[in-house]
Structure 1
């Protein structure tokens, strides 16, 4: 699925402000629906506080930029909460008709009942999108001189109903289920106004050459990357410097392939960005980053080789790098480009996978990819990560590039137009788009051994103990042998003297 972007070629990550969001819900709100909605708005920010109505205080409301209130007909309003909400000065999104109770005079809409729709659109029928299954929405009535309709649901091709309505800083969302992926896409795009995210009208593609490791065919990698360089297409390379071959049950390290190191250094000199690839565990990412830095291949970010990951784990990883590109495809993290900050002082770029290229017949691939591009074109803007494994044929790559160029103007986004930062123990990389790389490395020998031979610290200590014991035994044996030789020599000399 492709979703609208939060970055463009005209702006840097550090210029983006991350919303601080408070979500308040009443007892009776479905927890699954609430979770689905939180996943959607995490597209715009991971600074999200979720509170049941009875937990909310004035401090919670005062310290946020955006407030979302989800009402339930199974609860009654608490006077204090009503006061907090009515006194909020920022953008306020209401969900569920019961949330409208405190705003009967301010919000010029009414809700009669619910209805099912099988289509959705941003700006009327011209952008109508059919849904594979019907969804239930509130049947909202908006006066002709009242609020602005941002999103509509369609019943057939003739009848539309407001789904997202705006009146100044007040918004109402007449939908409470968010499992449909097309609906997710349209909800996120339509909430751009609520979260005050400017529109760039660009469709950008970030191309990642993936699965580069010590066993990669360097000649084939050269063929792929020479094509991209000749076409002036910016790209990233995801490198796994310590590669475990499952069938052979053996680790291969980057230093075992000098030709690959040489090629990667050349590509980086030509303007390609290197990503440190690994599992989402900190130790694995530490190892990948440290190994690349030690081979003079400073990475600008991480390529997480993990299909599912929690927001908590992602928060931890974000402390290591300002740029993360991943294979997320079945997780709660929907989207194809986000900027968020967790607890970092600066935001970071996250591009979950939009399209993973598989080994298909070029014609079949072209037809499939063209359909994906049509879907992207329905959005107002997007940033799309394209992950192309290094073992696939050049013909697939050229087909992909030609398809994108035939649909969009100047589509490929150069990640080196942004600033990047990577920090792990013993190594750090800062990339400034005007000044280039600043690299720090002080990786001790024991850490390099741990990295290259996949040892844990305990295993390393045990190996050191074994080596010390072995050396001690060897020295003792040598010393004993020397004593015996001396003793024999002395006995021989004594016998020689006595024989005289």
Structure 2
């Protein structure tokens, strides 16, 4: 009997010591129907192509609550079923006669619905409590629940509306004629009279969405700091000095690493392995609170300098990468029609996919060869097309920074105040950068970042996140960290503690609970003894000890019986 107990205990011990699989686990059956996953549907009507920027912002805001949203045009409404979604948005950026099927869809939708801007008159059943008048300019927004006034950076176009007495006004706008309702609700039907979601309107709407989705958040801000643009010619002493300081403060952080530096004059490449002292500093950082983020492969395209140039966007012609840097690219002006230009860009998508995939594979491979393990990705200058994001999503589960809002231009970027899963990131999680960075020579840079932080810390689930270039030296960094540490009730984000997955070619990297698991060709890699965050796989030493104990107990029992 005792032998059976020992064997059972050993089996339990070994099961607990074995590496646990990553990903979702099956929920235990409770005998009741599972709760429907929160899933948002966003339907839009556009007046012009640039209006897609507003839709992408809404997608990011909704992505905090819905990890599997769908975004479609009004003409595509027949392709979806209302039963598949728990929440509905209709964003009217164009006055038009809507398809009858869309009107029926909205009127009959059983969950919460939010209508934004135009075409409210076409939904007299659900939105009969809203009477639309003329367009007005708003200069400020007042949140009813708190009474807080937010001044807009410029006057914004809105719709002057009247709402019924049984409607609740959640936000009002200040106009030359006085206050007008800006966001109102009746039951589960919401109406927003603003045409633009550019901040601060996006942040204000984002706060309201907690009520819309029936979710509660936290008033504990999340802090993160990225050390930016670290490449093979970065000064290793400055990186090491900052890493030691952050270790002394017990502050986790990220390091955005570029594996290759390209000389803009000679085009000679210097790889990270050519800078052993910098590699040593990066490994020290990784061992002591730092997490590596792949920040492109070269951070340049054509003849620009690494760290200054783009890599995943043709900034000269302001369109996606469509061909090798050595070949001629063309702008819209080279084509007689918009259709011909669109065909040219579409033809280049296959090259773009290969180009992005190749740089990701090379970047990850070169980093793990140096025992540096990237857990997330950040596009240089936050510039990347939707094709690029989709390609990255096939290899990374986490993106840090801000997102380009369309394939039309790189100049419009956005990030919500909270973590998000926008639909056009194809399943990637966005960890937003919200407070900017210190520019070279700007002695007021830290103050500007903290001015934003003083506002954002009062938002629910907010991220107070920025980046810093190590070449600026230690003093400004120390000032920035000191200010961030003074934010009350805040917590620092440790990327290693989050569930992250990276998969390229024959390499797989996973992190969870402070541990990193790295596989090459299906085999867990071995790591130095003094590295305590790399999961070693099945603990053979523990198995050996358990077997020896078993043999010892059995022999003692036999000796006693003899």
Under a length normalisation based on structure 2, what TM-score does the superposition of the two structures give? Answer: 0.67
1:68 paired residue among 89, 93, 106: 89
Query: 2:231 aligned with 1:213, yes or no?
Result: yes
1:58-457 counterparts in 2 under 5 A? Answer: 59-70=80-91, 75-76=96-97, 78-96=99-117, 98-104=119-125, 107-123=128-144, 126-144=147-165, 146-155=166-175, 159-178=178-197, 180-278=198-296, 279-280=311-312, 281-326=356-401, 328=403, 330-335=411-416, 337-340=418-421, 342=423, 347-352=428-433, 354-360=435-441, 362=443, 364-377=444-457, 379-433=459-513, 436-442=515-521
Query: How far has the Cα of 1:106 moved from its partner?
Result: 6.4
- CA shift in 2, pair 1:336/1:125, >3 Å: closer
| 1:483 aligned partner | none
| 1:36 aligned partner | 53
- CA shift in 2, pair 1:22/1:369, >3 Å: closer
- CA shift in 2, pair 1:289/1:102, >3 Å: same
CA distance in 2, matches of 1:136, 1:341: 26
CA distance in 2, matches of 1:154, 1:264: 51
- CA shift in 2, pair 1:49/1:126, >3 Å: closer
| 2:351 aligned partner | none
Query: Contact (CA 8 Å) 2:141, 2:172: kept in 1 or not?
Result: yes
CA distance in 1, matches of 2:234, 2:196: 45
Query: Contact (CA 8 Å) 2:120, 2:132: kept in 1 or not?
Result: no
Query: How far has the Cα of 1:326 moved from its partner?
Result: 3.7
- CA shift in 2, pair 1:432/1:407, >3 Å: closer
| 2:72 aligned partner | 50
Deviation sequence 1:217-265 (CA, Å, 0-9, x none) = 2222111111111111111112222222324532112222222223322
Under a length normalisation based on structure 1, what TM-score does the superposition of the two structures give? Answer: 0.75
- CA shift in 2, pair 1:72/1:128, >3 Å: closer
Task: Please list every run of 5 or more consecutive structure 2 residues that lacks an aligned counterpart in the other structure.
Answer: 1-21, 26-35, 297-310, 313-355, 405-410, 523-562
Deviation sequence 1:192-217 (CA, Å, 0-9, x none) = 43344532112222111122222222
Aligned residue pairs total: 423
State the secondary structure of the residue aligned to 2:471.
coil
Deviation sequence 1:73-122 (CA, Å, 0-9, x none) = 96445544433222211221223464244344765343344433210132
CA distance in 1, matches of 2:188, 2:402: 37
- CA shift in 2, pair 1:96/1:207, >3 Å: closer
Query: Contact (CA 8 Å) 1:290, 1:426: kept in 2 or not?
Result: no
Aligned CA RMSD, in angstroms, stands at 3.3
Query: Contact (CA 8 Å) 2:258, 2:294: kept in 1 or not?
Result: yes
Deviation sequence 1:440-491 (CA, Å, 0-9, x none) = 1249xxxxxxxxxxxxxxxxxxxxxxxxxxxxxxxxxxxxxxxxxxxxxxxx
Query: How far has the Cα of 1:346 moved from its partner?
Result: 5.7
Task: Please list every run of 5 or more consecutive structure 1 residues that lacks an aligned counterpart in the other structure.
Answer: 1-11, 444-500
Query: Contact (CA 8 Å) 2:143, 2:171: kept in 1 or not?
Result: yes
Query: Contact (CA 8 Å) 2:91, 2:117: kept in 1 or not?
Result: yes
- CA shift in 2, pair 1:83/1:373, >3 Å: closer
Runs of 4+ in 1 over 6 A off after TM superposition: 12-18
- CA shift in 2, pair 1:319/1:209, >3 Å: same
